[in-house]
Amino acid sequence: MCIGLDVDIDKIPKHLLKEEDPVFAFNKAIIDATHHLTVAYKPNLAFYEAQGIKGFQALRKTIDYLNENYPEIFTIADAKRGDIGNTSGMYAKAFFDDLKFDSVTVAPYMGKDSVEPFLKYENKHTILLALTSNEGAFDFQTKNVEGEELYKMVLKTSKNWVNGQNLMYVVGATKAEYLQQIREIIPESFLLVPGVGAQGGSLKEVCEYGMNRKVGLLINASRAVIYASEGEDFAEAAATAAKKLQQEMAGYL
Amino acid sequence: MCIGLDVDIDKIPKHLLKEEDPVFAFNKAIIDATHHLTVAYKPNLAFYEAQGIKGFQALRKTIDYLNENYPEIFTIADAKRGDIGNTSGMYAKAFFDDLKFDSVTVAPYMGKDSVEPFLKYENKHTILLALTSNEGAFDFQTKNVEGEELYKMVLKTSKNWVNGQNLMYVVGATKAEYLQQIREIIPESFLLVPGVGAQGGSLKEVCEYGMNRKVGLLINASRAVIYASEGEDFAEAAATAAKKLQQEMAGYL
């Protein structure tokens, strides 16, 4: 399990607004209450950027808090970056060197030289978008490109990039039935699976079609866990929701 | 002309490093020296993010300085964002409401609902990646999807999205020969054209194949202008380089 920290200041419990940094206070409480139930946290950059400099400070405090207190936990910057080589190099620097995330999500549209600057960090992980959880995935990702769907071409092509074997991929849980075919192309790769919960994806199907002999799945839950309660008991409620999901996952293992 | 503010602290003149905010001092000097020669500035987000909180502060000061002193100049956040709907909404909030940019570049891979949250801002501009200037553009963008290149499908499909007629598109100057076919699909749209200069694109060809009756081109120059000199005369040198480009462009108009 991965817990998505998509923290919207308008959705956190009201009593936290009196804190100096409400978003960090929220994240810290959620992390302290759930760290024993999860293997990863995934802050969604957009939610922090929307808060300007305060958001950036909350993000930095959150990742520093995780690295200092729970160094064994895997951290994902859900940023979906991607640009020409020298620019992607700057994004890699931002997420890997400066913020010290373990991994970052990257968009494939601009191809090899837009992704390799991330892959060059051999002790970090690059998580490439393949088949996303939203409706718009059907606009281009599932279209037929030279005999196969675009997302399959992305999977096959990217395997051949520098350190391509280290790539992880985003595959949305709302399209669990595609996982069988995806596993034929990348049997060993780790998949980050969003879309279980609020977006309607089925955990059972994801496990059935997506698991490999090393499990190979990092299933993300965001809203269903972090907003389990709007009251002062939000952290306990998040732990309860996470525990329920974790037990459900354990049942499939 | 658009001037790209891809400002790398390792490349700016050394005497600026004693300033409280070297990157902003650099940008301010470049803007003051070139604002009469350009219609747009395009900060590249990666370069600011790579500097952490200081980079964010320099970016904010730069956009505020532009909006206060040169409100007629068009501002582009070159960020290449794109995510599921509620997340793209947060990015739109970050760039349009918080930072107050006039426009932002967006990646198309996640389809309609990843782009429309930006398009909903009717008084702002969304600039969608179509055919980029890098080598990796040939990995997916030019591949044949159901009878035509993927970038053409992106152009045609996106025209039908909410406010799709307001979209601008990124088309790299290093692929100027493609502009003729692109103009058949989107004769009226404004194009943001990177890749002239350091990346090797030809201004003459871009104008020849890409201009429409309202010009319709915003040609970006970054490194060739802002790093024209490493000395104390960097701003004058940038103005000279910009003036030369502007005169060359005027010759094609």
Dihedral over Cα of B86, B88, B94, B100: its sign? negative
Which residues of chain A have a CB within 8 Å of the CB of B121?
A: none
ipTM of model: 0.97
User: Which of B69, B127, B80 is closest to B103 using CA atoms?
Assistant: B127
**A88, two tokens:** 């992607």
Q: Return all residues near A34 (Cβ < 8 A) that are at least 6 apart.
A: A3, A225, A235, A238, A239, A242
For residue A19, the tally of other CB atoms under 10 A from its CB is: 13
* A68: closest CA of chain B, how far (Å): 19
Buried/exposed B94-118: b ≥16 CB within 10 Å, e otherwise? bbbebbebbbbbbbbbbbbbbbbbb
3-state secondary structure of A195: coil
**Per the residue annotation, which of A11, A42, A54, A80 is the catalytic one?**
A80
Q: Return all residues near A122 (Cβ < 8 A) that are at least 6 apart.
A: A163, A166
Query: What does the pLDDT average to over B211-225?
Result: 94
A80: annotated active-site residue: yes
pLDDT of residue B177: 85
Q: Tell which of B134, B135, B227 to mutate to test the A interface (max A CBs under 10 Å).
A: B134
Domain ranges of chain B: 1-72+232-253, 78-221
Q: How deeply is B61 buried, as exposed, middle or buried, from its count of CB atoms within 10 A (0-12, 13-18, 19+)?
A: middle
Task: Tell me the C-alpha distance between B62 and B43, whole Å.
Answer: 9
pLDDT, tens digit, 9 for 90 and up, residues B8-22 = 999 999 999 999 999
Task: Tell me the C-alpha distance between A112 and B136, whole Å.
Answer: 5
Residue A44 touches partner B, C-beta closer than 8 Å: yes
**H-run or E-run covering B130:** strand B125-131
pLDDT of residue A221: 93
3-state secondary structure of A173: helix
3-state secondary structure of B2: strand
Q: Residue B196 pLDDT more than 90?
A: no
Residue B83 touches partner A, C-beta closer than 8 Å: yes
Which residues of chain A have a CB within 8 Å of the CB of B146?
A: 143-144
B114/A87 Cβ within 8 A: no
**H-run or E-run covering A219:** strand A217-221
Per-residue pLDDT of chain A (253 residues), as tens digits, is 999 999 999 999 999 999 999 999 999 999 999 999 999 999 999 999 999 999 999 999 999 999 999 999 999 999 999 999 999 999 999 999 999 999 999 999 999 999 999 999 999 999 999 999 999 999 999 999 999 999 999 999 999 999 999 999 999 988 888 999 999 999 999 999 998 876 777 899 999 999 999 999 999 999 999 999 999 999 999 999 999 999 999 999 8
Query: What does the pLDDT average to over B176-188?
Result: 94
* DSSP-assigned states of every residue in A95-160: IIIIS--SEEEE--TT-HHHHHHHHT-TTSEEEEEEE-SSGGGGTTTTSEETTEEHHHHHHHHHTT
pLDDT of residue B198: 67
Task: Tell me the C-alpha distance between B222 and B204, whole Å.
Answer: 18
- The DSSP bridge partners found for residue A221 are A3
Q: What is the CATH number of domain A2-252?
A: 3.20.20.70
Q: In degrees rounded to 5, what are phi and psi of residue A96?
A: -90, -50
B84/A132 Cβ within 8 A: yes
Distance from chain centroid for Cα B85 = 23
Closest-approach residue (CA) in chain A for B141: A109
Please report, for residues A64, A179, B10, the alpha-carbon distance to residue A153 in angstroms, rounded to integers and kept in the order given. Answer: 37, 15, 37
Q: Residue B176 pLDDT more than 90?
A: no
Please report, for residues A7, B68, B138, the alpha-carbon distance to residue B100 in angstroms, rounded to integers and kept in the order given. Answer: 22, 11, 34
For residue B149, the tally of other CB atoms under 10 A from its CB is: 19
Residues found in chain A: 253
Query: What does the pLDDT average to over B60-66?
Result: 98
SS (H, E, C) A40-79: EEEEEHHHHHCCHHHHHHHHHHHHHHHHHHCCCCEEEEEE
- Percent of chain B whose predicted confidence (pLDDT) is above 90: 92
Is 3.20.20.70 the CATH number for B78-221? yes
Please report, for residues A59, A104, A155, A192, B167, the alpha-carbon distance to residue A1 in angstroms, rounded to integers and kept in the order given. Answer: 21, 17, 23, 10, 38
Q: Which amino acid is at A57?
A: Q
Query: What does the pLDDT average to over B97-102?
Result: 98
For residue A43, the tally of other CB atoms under 10 A from its CB is: 26
Using CB atoms and an 8 Å cut-off, which of residues 133-172 of chain B contact chain A? 133-141, 143-146, 150, 153-154, 157
